[in-house]
Amino acid sequence: MAILTDPFDVVVLGAGAAGLMCAAFAGQRGRRVLVLDHADRPGRKILISGGGRCNFTNIHTAPDRFLSANPHFHKSALSRYTAADFLALVESHGIAWHEKTLGQLFCDGSARQIVDLLLAECDRGNVVQRYDTSVTDVSHADGRFRVTAGERSWSAPCLVIATGGPAIPKLGASGFAYDLARRFGLKVVEPRPALVPLTLGGTEALFRELSGVSAPVIARSGPAAFTEAALFTHRGLSGPAILQVSSYWRKGEPISVDFLPGRDAGWLLAAKRNTPRAALRAMLRDELPERLAQALCDRLGAELMLPHDIGNMSDAALRKAEERLRQWQFCPTGSEGFAKAEVTAGGISTAELSSRTMEARRMPGLYAIGEAVDVTGWLGGYNFQWAWASAMAAALAL
């Protein structure tokens, strides 16, 4: 028989970014809050995020930088708790920060400072925290949720699911949120790895020989396009541009890579007029890392039977070569999966939740926030901003 300890107003499952934020601010509003986590310490993903400096938000946060089955769902929470709001919180803790690129804000010091910020805010809200606590059962009766972990049990009228998604299981990530949601009758949008390296096979496996080479590109998957670096790896493709398109990519579809992002259309035809003695190989070497230029040129040469000097090539051949370089099609065989994914796309269906409060429509008192929900941000601080904003939406309603 489990021992029922002090009653709480709210039990938050998961002491990650969203769970700690929600617990802190619900506590500061006078709620008696308990946070449970099966890990031995809070915020493990925060600690390793942003290469140890935590890219804690993005000043360009806007609804179109998030994927969800309902592209409108996240608008409310994101507009009520903005990147500027979180930045003000960071500054109120005296944490020095800098913008790295593309609106991405990082700690000057360490990601530990963000975890310490959240823990200090939890202390201000008298939040009770329990770690190394594996939840064995969650039930609901008489308007209260009862959470059991072995011999211990807690009850509260409100339960917040903040256990994230299964990306990087070795950090304690799990699909627990989905099991729990389904138990209470909520639908789950099929979870899939996102912000994840893609794998190449077949004839494209040859590109793996370029492992370590990176270049600025425009990567596209369907309507999504990202101008950033791509990196060839021993398994396929990675780097920010590829991670970004991976969230949009579906198995069986190609991705397209523009290797000439800095050049105007018609570059090769203009070069034929201006520098007819130039060799395509040399021109590409001026644009791209040598090994990549060589590999692309070899493939173009084999496919289009190109002679060396561009002055000797037909306009049609040059147009075709440029088109290939601007729309290089890769057909990934898959992704490196949840083991290497930075986030999970999909999750608890937004159709089940109030966009204002994150409360489940058909189960009053049950809330879901953060990565557990079917809202996934781009690379660059957007996922933490969703964690903060969805947590705050729930905290203000609890």
Please report how close the Cβ of residue 138 comes to ligand FDA at its closest, in angstroms: 10
Task: List the interface residues with ligand FDA, window 212-241 (CB under 6 A).
Answer: none
According to CB under 6 A, which one of 10, 11, 12, 13 is a site residue for ligand FDA? 13
CB of 211 to ligand FDA, least distance (A): 20
Helix (H, G, I), strand (E, B) or coil at 196: coil
Q: Interface mask (CB under 6 A) for ligand FDA, residues 34-53, using x and -?
A: --xxxx----xx--xxx---
Q: Which helix (H) or strand (E) holds 282?
A: helix 280-287
Please choose, from the candidates 149, 129, 181, the residue with its C-alpha nearest in 3D space to the C-alpha of residue 366: 181
Report, in Å, the least distance between residue 309 CB and ligand FDA.
47
Phi, psi of 279, rounded to the nearest 5 degrees: -95, 140
Question: Can you tell me which of 11, 26, 138, 162 binds ligand FDA, judged by CB under 6 A?
Answer: 162
Which DSSP symbol is given to 70?
S
Q: Which of 12, 147, 159, 168 binds ligand FDA (CB under 6 A)?
A: 168
Tokens of 201: 């096979």
The secondary structure element, H or E, covering residue 194 is strand 188-194
Alpha carbon distance 117, 307 (integer Å): 62
Half-sphere exposure of 147 (CA within 13 A, CB side): 28
Rank residues 306 and 346 by Cβ distance to ligand FDA and give the closer one.
346
Rank residues 221 and 247 by Cβ distance to ligand FDA and give the closer one.
Answer: 247
365 touches 145 (CB < 8 A): yes
Of 55, 339, 39, 57, the C-alpha closest to 162 is 39
CB of 238 to ligand FDA, least distance (A): 13
Q: Per-residue x/- marks for ligand FDA, 114-153, CB under 6 A?
A: ---------------------x------------------
* Residue nearest ligand FDA by beta-carbon distance: 16
* Contact pick of 8, 10, 12, 16 for ligand FDA (by CB under 6 A): 16
Beta bridge mates, 345: 192
User: What CA dihedral angle connects 126, 131, 136 and 140, to 10 degrees?
Assistant: 10
Q: According to CB under 6 A, which one of 258, 359, 371, 374 is a site residue for ligand FDA? A: 371
- Determine, following the binding rule CB under 6 A, whether residue 176 of this chain makes contact with ligand FDA: yes
Determine the interface stretch with ligand FDA among 32-40, 95-103, 268-276, 355-363 (rule: CB under 6 A): 32-40
3-state DSSP helix/strand/coil % of the chain, to nearest 5? 35, 25, 40
Q: Which is nearer to ligand FDA, 102 or 331 (CB)?
A: 102
Q: Which is nearer to ligand FDA, 39 or 245 (CB)?
A: 39
Question: Of the ranges 162-170, 185-193, 238-246, 309-317, which one interacts with ligand FDA (CB under 6 A)?
Answer: 162-170
Instruction: Give CA separation, 120 vs 24, 123, 125, 316, 385, in Å.
Output: 8, 5, 9, 65, 19
Q: How many CB atoms lie within 10 A of CB 229?
A: 15
Q: Which of 23, 54, 115, 215 binds ligand FDA (CB under 6 A)?
A: 54
The residues of the shown chain that bind ligand FDA, judged by CB under 6 A, are 13-19, 36-39, 44-45, 48-50, 54-55, 135, 162-164, 167-168, 172-174, 176, 342-343, 370-372, 381-384, 387
